[in-house]
Amino acid sequence: MTVEDEVEIMGQRLNSRIKNIFGRSLHIREVDAGSCNACEVEVNSLSNPIYDIERFGIHIVASPRHADMLLVTGPVTRNMELALLKTYNATPSPKLVAAMGSCACNGGIFGDTYASGGGVDKFIPVDVYIPGCPPRPQAVIFGIMVAIDKLAQKIKKTEVNP
């Protein structure tokens, strides 16, 4: 199967879930909390003509205030900690957080040191972990799909039963 076919199949599934839960589209804000920039290359790849995730209803936005979901990369460095918390607090609830890449999942090779925080979930609650160094674009799309299912559960929990 070619990359295009893989993306097409996954994208259609993703699109129907986004339609069910969000009505139209899912807005994502990407936050680099100290990654090596390979994850950024892959997030940018998502918007190239091969993957073109916008056609499945995913939009990467400029401000956390417009976002439904934060896609966080990097081990959260000491110097980025405050900026990440501010970004998280600026995102309206209910919100999703995906930790993208090995560093974001648990610190990766940078671990827990004087400068590196050792993973996003030590600082903000994380809904999905997308492993890989860096994860392939297909993996990121899959991760977003898993995150959306979690949001459906989250919304259900907050609904009051009559």
AA letter at 46: L
Strands of the sheet with 58-60, listed across from one edge? 58-60, 26-32, 69-73, 96-100, 128-130
If one asks whether residue 32 binds other proteins (CB under 8 A), the answer comes out as yes
Minimum distance between the CB of residue 46 and other proteins, rounded to whole angstroms? 9
If one asks whether residue 142 binds other proteins (CB under 8 A), the answer comes out as no
Minimum distance between the CB of residue 99 and other proteins, rounded to whole angstroms? 16
Element (H, E) at 98: strand 96-100
In the list 6, 22, 59, 83, the residue contacting other proteins (rule: CB under 8 A) is 83
Indicate the residue among 8 and 149 with the shorter CB distance to other proteins. 8
CB-CB contact of 59 with 24 (8 Å) = no
If one asks whether residue 50 binds other proteins (CB under 8 A), the answer comes out as yes
CA separation for the pair 22, 70 (Å, rounded): 16
Minimum distance between the CB of residue 20 and other proteins, rounded to whole angstroms? 27
